[in-house]
């Protein structure tokens, strides 16, 4: 009995890399016997099914990245750049190398192992193309399908790397703010001690400042562990071998866009560029008796167990009758049409949900910026009162600490928005293109 297909199959569409590897391996075993000719490849490109291939480049290495020292001051987001000035840089025992988002995209794209395997398989099929008409028809579907799967996998790896990039940038800025908070606590303790020794404030207590230190130190230890894990994670995705004392410094752009991407135009782009949808449309375009074997494997990758139609003796044999093949072609066309419609609905739902997430993240960052500005104004007021003797040093300490906390909240909100923006471009299918024109 054949598997029914309908709108309920939307939840059956998998994203597992393991299933992609298994299905891609099965497909490769089929289409390697059906070699692709050069004319078939040209026809596929003329039809617009093939995405542009990633530009070849040297593997990104640790020594190729510019050396940079970790700054002592966290970024002020209104400057739109976390790059510290030379006067802000202090000596550090660790080695830092600056890396940009564009470098992350290029390196992650080059190091996408499964995508490279699929691309090499497609290239190999082209190079050995010596086949009859039936084999060429089947290969006309198999080779571009492999490239579309490779493009999808490559984009997923790039999105993963960019999210790690922003998580690392957030963690590094958070550590700088924690170190500044610890310095504030130490400064308060010393000032209180001097006041007590001078007899000016015999009743003041050092406990509030001393109580902050263990909490700050615990957060710093957790931040150190997180930064190390994120460095190793990002370096692995990029294919960089970090030295023992080597750390990556994300050259992130700490800013928010004036406007959000428009939903409806972005949805049109997604329906045109999404590799997973284009792969299903490719099957729909080239479904015929000679391509049934490839179609069955491709349908398995799309989440459908492509069981052949039962023949009079129970199952299709390899030498099935032409009438039986035509019957299966009709069934497959119906199934693929259902899958295409289900995937289009899925794409629309994903984009609408992500647009809301993007708007929410942007609004949270805006509110965080407002709270930071208010904290700075309150701190400035208390500084004036402290100089006039109307505000205690402990009150000023709390205000200074609040400014740092609000600044950290803003930076976390911006990093969250940027991660959501990465996901948005991934869902529209144009993540790689978004970074193709950035300077190196």
Confidence grade of residue 136 (pLDDT, cut at 50, 70, 90): low
Q: Name the token pair of 391.
A: 């505000």
Residue 104, C-beta contacts closer than 8 angstroms, at least 6 positions apart: 158, 161, 162, 165, 234, 238
Confidence grade of residue 133 (pLDDT, cut at 50, 70, 90): low
Span 222-261, pLDDT tens digits: 999 999 999 999 999 999 999 988 999 999 999 998 889 9
Which range among 47-56, 67-76, 177-186, 253-262 shows the weakest confidence by mean pLDDT?
Answer: 47-56
pLDDT of amino acid 267: 95
Task: Report domain extents, the chain.
Answer: 7-434
Closest among 172, 134, 146, 116 to 41, alpha carbons compared: 146
Closest among 252, 227, 230, 232 to 243, alpha carbons compared: 232
Q: Name the token pair of 115.
A: 């995508």
CA 78 remoteness from chain centre: 25
Neighbours of 392 (CB within 10 A): 16
What CA–CA distance (Å, rounded) separates 119 from 140? Answer: 15
What CA–CA distance (Å, rounded) separates 318 from 320? Answer: 6
**Is pLDDT at 209 greater than 70 in this prediction?**
no
Confidence grade of residue 187 (pLDDT, cut at 50, 70, 90): confident
Mean pLDDT of 286-313: 68
> Which comes out higher in pLDDT, residue 278 or 44?
278
CATH of domain 7-434: 1.20.1600.10
Residues in the chain: 440
**Is pLDDT at 168 greater than 90 in this prediction?**
yes
Backbone angles phi, psi at 62, to 5 degrees: -60, -45
Closest among 245, 226, 279, 269 to 424, alpha carbons compared: 269
**Is pLDDT at 10 greater than 50 in this prediction?**
no
Q: Could you tell me if 414 and 77 are in contact, meaning their C-beta atoms sit under 8 angstroms apart? A: yes
CA 404 remoteness from chain centre: 28
CA 203 remoteness from chain centre: 54
Closest among 243, 54, 30 to 142, alpha carbons compared: 30
**Is pLDDT at 140 greater than 60 in this prediction?**
yes
Q: Could you tell me if 101 and 162 are in contact, meaning their C-beta atoms sit under 8 angstroms apart? A: yes
Which range among 1-5, 31-35, 271-275, 292-296 shows the weakest confidence by mean pLDDT?
Answer: 1-5
Span 370-402, pLDDT tens digits: 999 999 999 999 999 988 889 888 888 889 999
**Three state DSSP letters for the chain:** CCCCCCHHHHHHCCCCHHHHHHHHHHHHHHHCCCCCCHHHHHHHHHHCCCCCCCCCCCCCCHHHCCEECCECCCCCHHHCCCCCCHHHECCCCCEEEEECHHHHHHHHHHCCHHHHHHHHHHHHHHHCCCCCHHHHHHHHHHHHHHHHHHHHHHHHHHHHHHHHHHHHHHHHHHHHHHHHHHHHHHHHHHHHHHHHHCCCCCCCCCHHHHHHHHHHHHHHHHHHHHHHHHHHHHHHHHCCCCCCCEEEEECCCCCCCCCCCCHHHHHHHHHHHCHHHHHHHHHHHCCCHHHHHHHHHHHHHCCCCCCCCCCCCCCCCCCCCHHHHHHHHHHHHHHHHHHHHHHHHHHHHHHHHHHHHHHHHHHHHHHHHHHHHHHHHHHHHHHHHHHCCCCCHHHHHHHHHHHHHHHHHHHHHHHHHHHHHHHHHHHHCCHHHHCCCCCC
What CA–CA distance (Å, rounded) separates 294 from 299? Answer: 9
Closest among 197, 214, 234 to 62, alpha carbons compared: 234
> Which comes out higher in pLDDT, residue 29 or 199?
199
pLDDT of amino acid 39: 45
Q: Name the token pair of 303.
A: 């989440």
Which range among 195-204, 256-265, 305-314 shows the weakest confidence by mean pLDDT?
Answer: 305-314
**Is pLDDT at 37 greater than 50 in this prediction?**
no
């Amino acid at each position: 009995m054949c598997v029914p297909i309908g709108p309920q199959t939307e939840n059956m569409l998998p994203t597992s890399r393991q299933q992609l590897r298994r299905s891609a391996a099965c497909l490769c075993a089929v289409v390697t016997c059906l070699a692709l000719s050069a004319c078939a490849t040209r026809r596929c490109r003329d039809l617009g099914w093939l995405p542009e291939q990633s530009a070849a480049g040297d593997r990104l290495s640790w020594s190729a990245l510019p050396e940079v020292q970790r700054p002592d001051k966290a970024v002020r987001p209104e400057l739109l750049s976390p790059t510290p000035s030379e006067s802000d840089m202090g000596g550090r025992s660790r080695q830092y190398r600056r890396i940009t988002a564009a470098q992350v995209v290029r390196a992650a794209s080059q190091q996408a192992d499964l995508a490279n395997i699929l691309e090499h398989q497609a290239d190999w099929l082209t190079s050995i193309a010596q086949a009859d008409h039936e084999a060429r028809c089947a290969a006309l579907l198999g080779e571009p399908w492999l490239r579309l799967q490779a493009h999808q996998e490559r984009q997923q790896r790039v999105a993963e790397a960019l999210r790690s990039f922003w998580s690392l940038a957030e963690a590094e800025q958070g550590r700088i703010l924690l170190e500044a908070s610890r310095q504030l606590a130490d400064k308060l303790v010393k000032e209180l001690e001097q006041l007590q020794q001078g007899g000016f404030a015999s009743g003041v207590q050092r406990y509030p400042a001393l109580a902050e230190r263990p909490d700050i130190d615990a957060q710093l230890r957790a931040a150190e562990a997180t930064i190390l894990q994120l460095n190793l994670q990002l370096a692995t995705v990029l294919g960089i071998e970090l030295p023992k004392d080597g750390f990556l410094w994300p050259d992130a752009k700490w800013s928010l866009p004036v406007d959000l991407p428009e939903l409806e135009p972005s949805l049109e782009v997604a329906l045109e560029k999404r590799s997973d949808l284009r792969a299903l449309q490719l099957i729909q375009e080239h479904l015929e008796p000679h391509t049934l074997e490839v179609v069955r494997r491709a349908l398995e990758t799309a989440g459908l167990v492509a069981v052949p139609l039962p023949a009079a003796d129970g199952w299709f044999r390899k030498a099935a009758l032409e009438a039986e093949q035509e019957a299966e072609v009709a069934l497959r066309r119906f199934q693929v049409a259902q899958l295409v419609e289900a995937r289009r609905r899925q794409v629309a739902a994903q984009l609408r949900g992500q647009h809301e997430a993007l708007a929410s993240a942007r609004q949270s960052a805006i509110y965080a910026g407002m709270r930071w500005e208010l904290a700075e104004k309150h701190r400035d007021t208390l500084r004036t009162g402290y100089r006039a003797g109307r505000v205690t040093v402990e009150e000023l300490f709390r205000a200074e600490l609040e400014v740092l906390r609000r600044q950290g909240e803003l930076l976390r909100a911006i990093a969250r928005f940027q991660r959501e923006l990465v996901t948005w471009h991934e869902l529209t299918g144009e993540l790689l293109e978004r970074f193709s024109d950035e300077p190196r």
